[in-house]
Structure 1
Amino acid sequence: MTPKQIDHFFATLQAANPHPQSELEYSSVFELLAAVLLSAQATDAGVNKATRRLFPVANTPQKILALGQDGLESYIKTIGLFRSKARHLLETCRILIERHGGEVPATRAELEALPGVGRKTANVVLNVAFGEPTMAVDTHIFRVSNRTGLAPGKTPLAVELQLLQRVPPRYAVHAHHWLILLGRYVCVARKPRCWECQVVVDCDFKPKTPLP
């Protein structure tokens, strides 16, 4: 995909959805961090189902800690890997209280020092909560970036670095949301819905999926 095509690609996505939002439900930076931590290998819809029960009861590090392992598990047991995620979230809450005054830190190093928080989770928090132009490469972004020719790479980190180089700065803050939504609803894994794709003219994928 050429620089001109990339610019048109993102201009088209921006025109269709000027202010894209995460599909995770949250009302604070801590709720966002907790939701993203719980979302690994799970759907946003599945996480939202659990946090709609959890957050009205416990939505701060102190309140999550007060639930304990068994109490927290009872709210998130519908999510995959819920036991390990509960352990990570509880330990993260302890660290937030002990080292950060109960607040979510705004640097990559401090975020990635939290249990269960890897590069992708840190990128989501830095982007969504703090407005940094990070690229949180999930399975959707990895697929879209490779399939379209936007930012080919063999690993999520390789794709992330390509995106950081190739996405024009004016689109960078919202780029990861546009790409996730494109991959989730249009450029799907098994049979991309090319016939309804707004950026099909810029995409390198061939042959395009015909209208069924």
Structure 2
Amino acid sequence: MNATQRAIKRAFDFISAFLGLIILSPLFLIIYIMLKRQKNGPAIFSQERIGYRGKPFTIYKFRTLSKAEDKPQLVAKCDDSNSTKTERFLREHHLDELPQLWNVLIGDMSLVGPRPERKYYIDQIMEIDNSYVLIYEMRPGLTSEATLYNGYTDSMEKMLKRLQMDIHYLENRSLALDFSIIMRTAASIISGKKF
């Protein structure tokens, strides 16, 4: 991807995130109210992740797994028994990730790119495969080919598989590929299924 394509990608990210935040604001409000009624804690969850050029940033999402999200452990599955039906629905359809449109808007993330990871897991991945450093060449994404394939990464095996798919994306990225991933992501969100 050359400099012009990167500039187009960033402009598309900014405009899409801006419009998405406005258009989806009623949905944000509904989800926020539903989560606040179910939990005593905050409806919005924030966590430090590692992004472009290895710099840390704060990622945002709707809180759906209060116990798992606050601890350095593998993410819980969508059918986690501690979750309510609402929380499981949000995770199955990846609606818990929507607040990351703000991360896209301010430039911490892109619509398409490798999912950002916690340093805790990056250190473990690097012990097995140090090619993870290649991921720092891209802004992390709201969605990716690996996300469509793996869904949530709830094991180290999936994390390593995601790494290989992210490197494949790095080597082949283009605006056309990004558009394809966005369309498949939209279909996945609607159906709740992986593609």
Shorter-chain TM-score above 0.5: no
TM-score (norm 1): 0.29
Whichever of the two has the greater Rg, that structure is 1
Structure with the largest fraction of strand:
2
What TM-score, normalized to structure 2?
0.31
